Amino acid sequence: MDRFFRHRQAVTFILTAAIIVGSLLLSFAVRYDFRIPAAQWPRIGELIPAALVIKLFFFWLFGAFRGWWRYVSMPDLLLLVKANVFGSLFFVLYVVVVYRLEQVPRAVLVLDGIFCFLLIGGIRFMVRAVRESYRPWRRVPADKQRSVLVVGAGEAGQMIVREIRQNPELHYRLVGFVDDDPQKLNCRLQGLMVLGSSASLAGLVKKYDVDEVIIAIPSASGKQIRAMVDHCREVKCSFKVLPGVGELIDGRVSVQQIRRVNLEDLLGREPISLDTEHIRNYLEGKRVLVTGAGGSIGSEICRQVARFNPARVILFENAETPLFLIEQELLQSYPDMPIVPVIGDVRNRSRVNVIFDQQMPQVVFHAAAYKHVPMMEHNSAEAVNNNVQGTRLLADASHKFGVEKFVMVSTDKAVRPTNVMGATKRIAELYVQALNQHSKTQFVTTRFGNVLGSNGSVIPTFSQQIEQGGPVTVTHPEVTRFFMTIPEATQLVLQAGSMGQGGEIYLFDMGEPIKIQSLAEELIRLSGLQPHVDIAIAYTGLRPGEKLYEELLLDGEGVLPTRNSKICIAQSVTPDLAALAAQVDSLVACAKKLDGQGVAFGLRSIVPEYRPASHKKVRSHGPEVKLVKSGTQKFIPEVRTVH
């Protein structure tokens, strides 16, 4: 067998030559009712060498000898069609020129082309069919197989089915498809029947004794996945999911990507439609610097920027290990792309200027920030130094060194902040907006809520608590937050950067606010346990600086729609740069002196809407903010009080 694979092309060449000869003989036999006249045999002997030379040349030219028959597909079939058509046409041309069709029946020439294609294509597909459907030497005993139902009979589902058939070591036995398209019901796709819709999933699992359900719909919304997961739980059937379109960046689908359903799948919204051409136009061939490159958002920005073939990616990070990890990941995924890892602190003016002078970035994504709300309440001076002064130094350097576009990652906590972190991020927003009025650099701000799965976020904390047997700690039964997944957030950051002309604050459609208690309960269920039974939920009270509800817009801020339905622009007043710079100077001076009272006064002076939380126990009432659709505007704040 090893010798066969070593000489596979030679074997394919010889077999193709035999088929060409056989096709010509079969054509004459059919033409003469399988009684070829003796007078035709000399002519056949003259035609065989010509047919071999002409057709073998075109099959070689189109690469028909280089494929693996076990993986033959429609593109391979089209290649064989082209090679056969050209080969047959030139063979006919040869016969016309040499023999003028006087001694070669026309039917023979037509039949020869048909038989040649059918035999060459047929033998390849027969090999694939035998390998996928028969192969008793690799068949797994029935008691060791897991019966599988595939939800989604689209392209992704069919690709999964093909790969399962090619990999018997997966120990899967395919039962059929489930799909909500009524036109596919009772149809056969990839040899499997579409048995019903997702609403009948529980019944189908029972009827066909299904061991596992694979949800192969990358574009499925969180609501759809939740419904399917509930059906599976109802009949105690295990379930897995194919990652969403945000994770399948390159569009390729593989059975290796199937994984357990996680919380991000259940909370996901409609897939984001990216204008990749606009993103490519401002990133391709550019020198791109990402601050906070080792963090959750910064590292994902690096991954997605790398897709668009930048001239260089500069990773700016002050933590050595995270910087090393993202550098190694990018080097492995994009070995030909220049990656420049830079250890440095955004608060160090000299270091920032040296980096900009040496690397001359054209696009800057500023994701470096101190983000943990309660921690920053006790470290207000450092929050100012990092979030305000760090942003100011980066923005000033971008202006000084002629950066084309500066995209800052902000937060919904900058809206009517009740904490130091939110207030410092609001000042950073104001500064880049004001500087935009005096610079050729386009300064763009993006504002969104919590990111699921980011470092130090609620999901990893809950997961760890569940592993330890609980309890899962929730601050308040009514606390809600806006959530996005990491891919969602970073894709929209890139998209906003492509749209921004300078000075805008872009808001992302965060969907409906979600109760943290609901997150905790769902995560416990995904772990195979029952909330309040197997794992307790304990309420600890709001932490310093926390709100019950988050918002995305300030009073007086309207919204403007954009060409992307998930992004809008907050209309806000731009402050005077000179006055703001003087206030920031005073605030930073207080921070450097560790003057807590001066910092608090400075934050309130620059951000009048900043109202520090009282830190007392909070009852279940307060302003609840949600985003609602209205007319031409995609989402507008609606404020109501819950009693």
pLDDT tens-digit series, residues 176-209: 899 988 888 888 887 788 898 888 888 999 999 8
Which of 231, 261, 291 is the last residue before a domain boundary? 261
Q: How many CA atoms lie within 13 A of 458 on its CB side?
A: 28
> Which of 20-24, 595-599, 617-621 shows the lowest per-residue confidence on average (mean pLDDT)?
617-621
Residues 107 and 239 occupy one common structural domain: no
Can you give the pTM of this predicted structure? Answer: 0.60
538 assigned to some structural domain: no
Number of Cβ within 10 Å of residue 339's Cβ equals: 19
Does 157 lie in the same domain as 119?
A: no
Is 428 part of a structural domain of the chain? yes
| pLDDT tier for residue 628 given thresholds of 50, 70 and 90 | very low
Q: What is the DSSP string of 359-377?
A: H--SEEEE------HHHHH
In this structure, are 235 and 358 located in the same domain?
Answer: no
User: Would you state the pLDDT for residue 330?
Assistant: 94
And the tokens for 480? 């809600």
Q: Is residue 309, in this structure, part of any structural domain at all?
A: yes
In the block, which residue shows the tokens 């927003």? Answer: 429
Query: Is there a single domain that holds both residue 369 and residue 498?
Result: yes
pLDDT above 70 coverage of the chain, percent:
78
Nearest to 498 by CA among 448, 563, 417: 563
> Do the domain assignments include residue 459?
no
Please check whether residue 118 lies inside any domain of the structure. yes
Assess whether 374 and 391 both reside in one domain.
yes
- The whole-number pLDDT of residue 51 equals 87
Same domain, 428 and 487: yes
pLDDT higher than 70, residue 41: yes
- Name the most confidently modeled range: 151-155, 417-421, 617-621, 629-633: 417-421
Per-residue pLDDT, averaged over 431-451, amounts to 89
State whether 156 and 122 are in the same domain: no
Residue 263 identity (one-letter amino acid):
L
Give the count of domains, the chain.
3
Domain annotation covers residue 473: no
Domain extent, residue 192, equals: 142-261
Q: Report yes or no on 542 lying in a domain.
A: no
User: Which region among 60-69, 251-260, 300-309 has the lowest average model confidence (pLDDT)?
Assistant: 251-260
| 240/257: higher pLDDT | 240
pLDDT value at residue 348: 95
Residue 167 lies in a domain: yes
Residues 307-351: tens digit of each pLDDT: 899 999 999 999 999 999 999 999 999 999 999 999 999 999 999
CATH at residue 505: 3.40.50.720
Residue after which a domain boundary falls, among 204, 233, 261: 261
The pLDDT, as a whole number, for residue 140 is 54
- Which region among 60-69, 156-165, 468-477, 619-628 has the lowest average model confidence (pLDDT)? 619-628
Q: Are residues 322 and 226 in the same domain?
A: no
- The answer to whether residues 72 and 65 touch, using CB atoms and an 8 Å cutoff, is no
- 374/643: higher pLDDT: 374
Last residue of a domain, one of 133, 154, 174: 133
Whether 122 and 147 share a structural domain: no
| Same-domain check for residues 584 and 444 | yes
Shared domain for 635 and 496, answered yes or no, is yes
Q: Which pLDDT score is estimated for 554?
A: 46
Q: Average model confidence (pLDDT) for the chain?
A: 80
β-strand partners of 642: 622
Q: Write down the pLDDT at residue 1.
A: 44
Mean pLDDT in residue range 105-111: 84
pLDDT at 354: 96
Q: What is the pLDDT of residue 4?
A: 46
The H-or-E segment that residue 596 falls in is helix 596-606
Residues 200, 219: one domain?
A: yes
